[in-house]
Each structure stands twice: as C-alpha cells, then as structure tokens.
Amino acid sequence: MDSVIDDSPSGSNGEEKADFSSSRNNDDYDSETELGDYTLKRTDSSSSLSFIDLNKLLYLQDFDFGVGLDHVSDSAKRRFNEMKTKTKQRLNRLKIDSNQTRDLSKLQELLNQRLAKFDEKVHKNLESSATEKLFYALAVSCIAAGGFVLGKYPSYFHVFYTVLFCLLMPIRFYSYFKQSFQYYLADLCYYVNLLLMLFIWYKPDSKSLFVSVFSLSLGTLSFAVITWRNSLVLHSIEKTTSSFIHVMPPITLFVIVHEMPKDFVKERFPAVLKIDNWNFVNGIIITSIYYTVWQVGYHYFITIRKKKEIENGRVTSFTYLRKKNKATVLGRFVNSLPYNWMQITAFTFIQFFYQIFTMIPCPLWFKYKHFCGSFVAFVFIWSSYNGATYYIDVFGKRFEKEVKKLKQEINDLQARVDSAQASPEMKPQGSSLSSTNDGEFSKEDNAVMIDKTSGDSFTSGSHVKSFSLENSI
C-alpha cells in the first residue's frame, strides 16, 4: 500500500485532510509538507518519496515522520512509528560505525607510517654512496695489482706497500680525528707500520729493527686478524684500511724475506741476510725492548696526559676492550681490580704475554718459505672471510631484525583491529548496510558512503536515494 500525504485545503472551511489511497487514483495530486527548512515532497512515484538529505536528518533528532497524520488509522501510525524507530536506530548505528571507522583509519595510517619507515631503513642499509662504490672498485683493483706486483715484480712490492700506506693513512687520521677516535692512532698496529716504514726507507741494515718488525708483524698483527675478527669489507674505507695495516706488513715482509732475489736483498735489505738462524730468546728480548718503548710512550701520552679526556668519555683501545670483553674470564679479572692503575697494569701484562705467545712460530716463518706463505695466505683469507660474514650475516641479520620488528608491529595493529571489529557496536566493513526486506536502506540504491577524512559526514553523492515505504506499509 502506498502512502499519500495531503496537506491541501478541502472545501470552504479550509480543513486539512489526510487521504491514504492507491497512487493510481491520485496521479494528478501533488502536495508538500513543510517542516521548517526541511521539505518532504510527494511525487507521482508509486514506490518512494523523493530524496532526503541524510546529513540534515543527523541534526534533526526529533523529526517525526507522522506529522500531519493525526487522522489516519492506528495501523498506519504504527507503521510510520516503526519506520521512524528503525531510521533512528540506523542513524545511531552509523554514528558508532563512523567512530570505529575513524579508529581503523588511524590504525591504517600508523601501519603505513611503519611500512614507510621500514622501507627507508632497508634502503639506507642496502644503498651505497658514490664514494663507497668508487672505493670498492679501487680496493679490488689494488688487490689485483698487489698480486701482479708480488708475482711479476717482487722487488717493487715494498714500494707498492709504501704508496698505499701514504694514501690511506691521511684518510685514517682525518676520519679518526673527526670522529674523536684519535687515541686509537697510538695503538700497536700503527706503531708496527711505522717501524716497517722506518726499516724500508731509513734503516734497512738494522738487524734488531728487522727482528722486531718481523716478530710484531707476523706475530701480534697477524693474530689480531684472527682474534679481533678484522674484516676486509671492500666498500668501507675504514674497514679496508684496518685490514691493510694488519695484513700488508706480514705480506711485505714475506716478499722481502722469501720472494725478492737474494742479490737485491743483499743490496737493498742487508739486515735480512745477517740472520742465518733465528735465535728465539734474542728475538723475544729485542722485540720486548721495542714493545716496551711503545707501551711506555702510550701510557705516558695517552693514559696519563689525556686522563681527563678519557674520564669524560674519550675512547681508547683499553676502555673499548675492557667493556667489550667484560663477560670473558680475563675481562672479569681486569674489571674486578679495585683501582684503575691496577687494571691498566694487568691489561699491559696480558698484552705483553700475548705478544710473546704469538712470536713462538716466528722462527718457522723466517726459515721456511712455504710455511710463511701459507700462514700469510691464511691470514688474508681469514680477513676476507670476516668481510664476507659482515656482508652476509651483518646485513642479513640487520634486515631480519627490521622485518621481525615490523612483523611484531603489524601483529599488534592487527590485534587492535580484531579487537575493534569484535566489539558489539562494530559493524563489519564488508557487510550490507541494510536489507530491503525490513524496510531499511537498500544495498544497491541506498548504500551510504562514509567519509573517512572527517568521520562525521555520511553521504551517497549528496543524498540517500530513497526511503522505501512500500514494504513498510
């Protein structure tokens, strides 16, 4: 049964009448019901009223669909009241839906931010600068050039080492001073490289200097690659330089002792031929003298004179190793000592005995070419393996860590979304907003689009197409 609202005057007395009859009998009849600024227009349609702006209904809480129908039957009034109740329930449900939709939008925005941040971190870790790419190419070229010089022109290998030393050390000094790591430049590895440069270009005939340089290079420096996981990471200037100052002195001395022609060695490095048989005891004594000179100078200029800077947080090799190895047996022993000077003394003696221990195979390295060559090759391969570990494990674990963190954040957000959807007031996003069987909104014609940007407006274009009264009355 279709409804007809009649507000036009009838007869001379001007009384209002409400006529409910079939629209087929009233095709030529049209009227309006005025409600302030809101107008309900009746058309010739037999199925619905014309458009009603749902935004206006949101602000019209007391709107009465039955106005002007005081003289209709109780059944008609009841059906109008039922429609009014259902409409108000729908509006309230849409308001609740808007709040929770706004929360879901915030969760989605937060998730997008996390994804963008994750993507930025991944690209930052994987991307290389132009300088790193250039240095990678130069590092590979230098390794190839070093192999060529060693095999073809071994007499010039010490020159090749000197050129690389003069190129890399200024960069290391600049970068370490810039990062406030300058106290690392007083470590033993730099001291040994300076001794080697001194032997090559100033005192090639000094037997004691050669013994000390050979023992320290194929002793402490070589084993430091193994002990402290020195890594040959070719794109990193810092790590490649660290590998250089630990690996190149042993290789250079191997070439001088075993690869250079004897006539050239006799003329250019006479101290090498002065040693017929390596005296282990004399080697320890001579090397200990050079080692003590370095250790005394280190503690005077760094530990004592720079005490305030170190206490204020300036990093040294001693403070770094003490912190890094605090879980080891020696680390716990050193850190358990009550006074700082006692800790420094204990650390110094540990270094000294470590140096003596690494010197034990030096007579073999000096006498036997293949043993020495195999050991030097092993040190280089170990450094390269550490570099591969850095590329694969460190980058991979860093990426895996970021993925796990993102996964946890997504799980937390999903749990919040599931909790919101599980709420009794939450309307599933994919469900129909209405059903045509109960007189509410139609799925196709009366779908309500929710404005997610404000969460307060509910529109479909500018209106809801129609309220169907055909199934309600």
Distance CA(215)–CA(258), nearest Å, equals 15
Q: With respect to residue 46, please indicate whether it lies within any of the assigned structural domains.
A: no
The full DSSP string for 328-340 is: SHHHHHHHHSSSH
Count of the separate structural domains present in the chain: 1
CB neighbours (10 Å) of residue 296? 11
Torsion of CA 221, 223, 227, 233, to 10 degrees: 60
Q: With respect to residue 291, please indicate whether it lies within any of the assigned structural domains.
A: yes
Please give the pLDDT value at position 61.
Answer: 45
Q: With respect to residue 353, please indicate whether it lies within any of the assigned structural domains.
A: yes
Task: Map tokens 């957000």 to a residue.
Answer: 413
Domain that residue 316 falls in: 128-406
pLDDT tens column, 324-364: 777 788 788 888 888 888 888 888 888 899 989 999 999 99
Start-to-end CA span in the chain (Å): 6
Q: With respect to residue 451, please indicate whether it lies within any of the assigned structural domains.
A: no
Q: Which residues of the chain have pLDDT under 50?
A: 1-67, 426-473
Q: Give yes or no for a contact between 9 and 17, defined as CB atoms under 8 angstroms apart.
A: no
- Radius of gyration (Cα) for the chain, nearest Å? 44
Q: With respect to residue 62, please indicate whether it lies within any of the assigned structural domains.
A: no
Q: With respect to residue 366, please indicate whether it lies within any of the assigned structural domains.
A: yes
Going by the DSSP 8-state scheme, the letter that residue 219 receives in this structure is I
CB neighbours (10 Å) of residue 236? 19
Q: With respect to residue 112, please indicate whether it lies within any of the assigned structural domains.
A: no
Please give the pLDDT value at position 392.
Answer: 80
Taking the whole predicted model, whether its pTM rises above 0.75 is answered as no
Q: With respect to residue 11, please indicate whether it lies within any of the assigned structural domains.
A: no
CB neighbours (10 Å) of residue 116? 10
